Structure 1
Amino acid sequence: MTRFAEKVAIITGSSNGIGRATAVLFAREGAKVTITGRHAERLEETRQQILAAGVSEQNVNSVVADVTTDAGQDEILSTTLGKFGKLDILVNNAGAAIPDSQSKTGTAQSIESYDATLNLNLRSVIALTKKAVPHLSSTKGEIVNISSIASGLHATPDFPYYSIAKAAIDQYTRNTAIDLIQHGIRVNSISPGLVATGFGSAMGMPEETSKKFYSTMATMKECVPAGVMGQPQDIAEVIAFLADRKTSSYIIGHQLVVDGGSSLIMGLHCQDFAKLLH
């Protein structure tokens, strides 16, 4: 028996990076998974990786949808229930630091950037969670929210809206954890540090620049004390830990930091990224 046998999981933002690694891991461990994202080709790559791991097509529900919309949320949930009949685990992973349309940073960023960033990183989590709660109540299920070390006490002056959204997710996790445990639902969150995903590209970096960014950061002990760049699989394993009631049943409303030691010093915020990448 694998640890997620007979479990049904939704992993948002699973067309790339952490979400993809989590979906493959959960499916390999026996879960029936709904994978979802906005990009059909990348989502199909995730589906193919799951099938290549020996998972039956019957255990995969692939939904091209925009999780920031009510219609997208409803489709994700309704197709999951329609195909699998229940929901045990919700991983709210979809998120990004959305670049400003005028390439502004800090307080110069537009209100439109704020709206888009909060809509993706916070509102969609709240909306999908509310819709999932009745079904998770029936199964005594699990919610794992993906936050970031950007939510901490240190400043992230270039991308304030992203850090605001993630700080709100931390508080939302704590509040909902206490509210929902009375219904048997556990809520926890994970705060990754630097992880080699498509995050840099989503911020507007060319692919080669993004690779250079990650490789450079990994060599700087004042940025990543572990000396190695985090990989999506590293975070996926921790998500699985928090989603497995057998291993983490007494953990309620916790924010688990997974960052190679970065948040203990946060030297990365003192770097001139533009200079490093040239």
Structure 2
Amino acid sequence: MLKFHDKVALVTGSGTGIGQAIAKKFIENGASVIILGRRKEPLEETSVILKEIIAKVNSGAFVRIFSGVDVSDEDGMNQMFDTLKKENITVDYVINNAGVSGPVTCFSNAALEEFKSTIDIHLTGTFWGSVQALRVMKENGKIVTISTFFTEERPLEQRPYRFRSPYTAAQGAKNRLVEAMSWELTDKKIISIGTNPGPVHSDRIYKTVYPKAAAEFLRVSGFEDLTPIQVEAANKELFPLLGEDEKTVKDGITKASQKLAPSIGKDAGKLATTITNLLNKIQTIAEKVQKNTSHMIADQQFLSQGQVAESVLNLCDDEIARILNGKVIPGDRVFYPVKPHIGTTTPGVHQPNFTGRSIVFTIDATEKSDAQRVEHLAQHVIKNGGKVACFISESTPKELQEYISSKFHSHVVNIKNPEEVKKWLNTANTNLGNILAVIHITGKLPNISKLVELPRAKWQELVEKFITTPATVAQGVLGQFVPGGDKDPRLYKDAKGAIMIVGPDLPVGAKVTGLQRAQVEVFRGALRPFTTTVNQELSDVLNSKIRLITVFPGSVTGSEPNNERIAQALNFLVSDIALDSSEVTFCVDESRLG
């Protein structure tokens, strides 16, 4: 008897790569599989392979294809599970594998729509796929979510992944979602497990991620006599040539040179030489990144896709799954040396004089204590000579809008709209003077019984509130500090500024449950890698003196947060000491971490 005979596995993103390898492994062990993805052709090709294996093992299993299904598409996912429900198909294993590289560029240069799309596919796709799958699952079902090793792993360790801010934010949140779902699904007797495979042999790494990262390094400083904008234009022409034969590459460079020469103002022949050198440099850096990563692995070997598939099937074993329910297995094998990045209270500094400087607050308050936090921080600024402007989100309850507006110069604006953010920051800079820092208040997580019981729209609101809105504000602030820096990153060198994200808080009370903490951690789990990654870009890549820190109020003991500690964090952020600190996320109410 094959181990998974008469079982059904649903694997997202299963037309190619790791998803296909997982589907094959299930089929080899007797299971039927449901495969889905955006492109029809790869799924059909995979189906042929799977059916050949079924015939070979003589399991009598089936393969069901759902093509054109994007995991981020609510209607498409709903319709797929409607169909499975009508056909009385019970799913035993859901493997959340679908993903994209997302933009591989500095956060300041990343299109916000691409940022949001990456979050939608990786995080919301995982969430909604899991929620909808509950309709066709029964007791003892397993949900296995595949994430990345570029998220927090051990106590005090947070791994930055420069040029991949939306990817790491989504993956960090996914890891914590795995934990939250393990709490929420106990009554259904469904198990939730995560796994973080390390570097895996795949075209996505070799042809997309590593070369694009190499190209971004070259864009930041320009290459030979090309400006960053010109390097970016050339890179777009070069990427389709990666991995092609010598003649195709040569012809492609000739066409690219002829196309770009008029706008760059260079002779096409000379430009071809420059572009050839650029492509060679991209390949050299990409190979170096791959080599450096392999040297952080004991046997210096990336995992094969089959090995990842084998580990996923092991996690679906009944006994192993019961033992590991709620765990995120750090299967990466990578010894990745990093600085702490996460701390408790910020180092003490001499009280700055804010005279002649302005501090802007962007506020997405949930309850009165959020508004009182703004009041405390704003009074701290004013008391020390500074000016304050408050831009309050339209989604903030009206009574809280009025509370803040009655005390400080305020406007109710759409801070989810990047153009609005840009407009009001310009207004503040013009009317109040030089902006020293921007403080974004996320507000607390609303009371939720279970995340998995939320309607899609409510989930989207939470993602917007705690992930995409802070990113929108942060990018708008970077544009204010360094006008034009998105197109010419050289302008960032030595530029100054400070951004602080505050929240969401851990829940308060003597009887806080593990579930309540796990729910908040989903969104804190997004902001930690986001903060770390953006800071590494700002300091190590762009050579700026701009810093972004995130402050998480509250403690695991359920004690009341202390707003004065957040005020001290602001003092630290605008000091020179912050420029030399590796810690960028602060749990200010915790006495220790780990």
Quick check: TM above 0.5? Answer: yes
| Cα distance in 2, alignment partners of residues 215 and 8 from structure 1 | 42
* Residues 114/106 of structure 1: CA separation in 2 closer, same or farther (3 Å cut): same
Written as runs of structure 1 = structure 2, the 5 A alignment for 1:195-206 is 195-200=200-205, 201=207, 203=209, 206=240
Q: How many residues align?
A: 265
Structure 2 length-normalised TM: 0.41
The aligned counterpart of 1:141 is 141
TM-superposition CA deviations, 1:36-85 (whole Å, max 9, x none): 11111111221122122134786100110122112221233234344562
**1:164, distance to aligned residue in structure 2 (A):** 0.5
* Residues 54/186 of structure 1: CA separation in 2 closer, same or farther (3 Å cut): same
Contact 1:193–1:263 (CA under 8 A) maintained in structure 2: no
| Cα distance in 1, alignment partners of residues 287 and 193 from structure 2 | 27
The aligned counterpart of 1:276 is none
Stretches of structure 2 that go unaligned for 5 or more consecutive residues are 153-157, 213-238, 245-281, 339-532, 537-594
**Which of 74, 94, 101 is residue 98 of structure 2 equivalent to?**
94
Contact 1:26–1:33 (CA under 8 A) maintained in structure 2: yes
Contact 1:219–1:227 (CA under 8 A) maintained in structure 2: no
Residue type of the partner of 1:40? K
| Cα distance in 2, alignment partners of residues 78 and 263 from structure 1 | 44
| Cα distance in 2, alignment partners of residues 263 and 118 from structure 1 | 27
| Cα distance in 2, alignment partners of residues 106 and 193 from structure 1 | 23
Contact 2:15–2:43 (CA under 8 A) maintained in structure 1: yes
**1:123, distance to aligned residue in structure 2 (A):** 0.6
Residue type of the partner of 1:93? N
| Cα distance in 2, alignment partners of residues 192 and 37 from structure 1 | 21
Written as runs of structure 1 = structure 2, the 5 A alignment for 1:209-220 is 213=286, 217=290
Contact 2:96–2:143 (CA under 8 A) maintained in structure 1: yes
| Cα distance in 2, alignment partners of residues 13 and 214 from structure 1 | 27
Secondary structure of the 1:226 match is coil
| Cα distance in 2, alignment partners of residues 81 and 57 from structure 1 | 21
| Cα distance in 2, alignment partners of residues 110 and 246 from structure 1 | 45
**1:179, distance to aligned residue in structure 2 (A):** 1.2
Which structure is higher in RCO with an 8 Å CA cutoff and minimum separation 6? 1
Which has more radius of gyration? 2
| Cα distance in 2, alignment partners of residues 7 and 75 from structure 1 | 22
- Most deviating of 83-92 and 210-219: 210-219
Secondary structure of the 1:250 match is helix
Kindly indicate whether residue 191 of structure 2 is the aligned counterpart of residue 191 of structure 1: no
Kindly indicate whether residue 16 of structure 2 is the aligned counterpart of residue 16 of structure 1: yes
**Which of 49, 60, 63 is residue 60 of structure 1 equivalent to?**
63
**Which of 302, 305, 309 is residue 229 of structure 1 equivalent to?**
302
**1:224, distance to aligned residue in structure 2 (A):** 3.4
| Cα distance in 1, alignment partners of residues 20 and 293 from structure 2 | 27
Kindly indicate whether residue 131 of structure 2 is the aligned counterpart of residue 130 of structure 1: yes
Q: Percent identity?
A: 23
* Residues 251/111 of structure 1: CA separation in 2 closer, same or farther (3 Å cut): same
- Most deviating of 32-41 and 53-62: 53-62
Contact 1:81–1:87 (CA under 8 A) maintained in structure 2: no
Secondary structure of the 2:34 match is strand
* Residues 133/78 of structure 1: CA separation in 2 closer, same or farther (3 Å cut): same
Secondary structure of the 2:302 match is coil
* Residues 183/196 of structure 1: CA separation in 2 closer, same or farther (3 Å cut): same
Residue type of the partner of 1:60? V
* Residues 230/126 of structure 1: CA separation in 2 closer, same or farther (3 Å cut): same
Residue type of the partner of 1:111? L
- Most deviating of 242-251 and 19-28: 242-251
**1:109, distance to aligned residue in structure 2 (A):** 1.2
**1:143, distance to aligned residue in structure 2 (A):** 0.1
Q: CA RMSD in A?
A: 2.9
Stretches of structure 1 that go unaligned for 5 or more consecutive residues are 271-278
**1:220, distance to aligned residue in structure 2 (A):** 5.6
Contact 2:54–2:61 (CA under 8 A) maintained in structure 1: no
| Cα distance in 2, alignment partners of residues 89 and 66 from structure 1 | 19
- Most deviating of 11-20 and 64-73: 64-73
* Residues 120/47 of structure 1: CA separation in 2 closer, same or farther (3 Å cut): same
- Most deviating of 54-63 and 207-216: 207-216
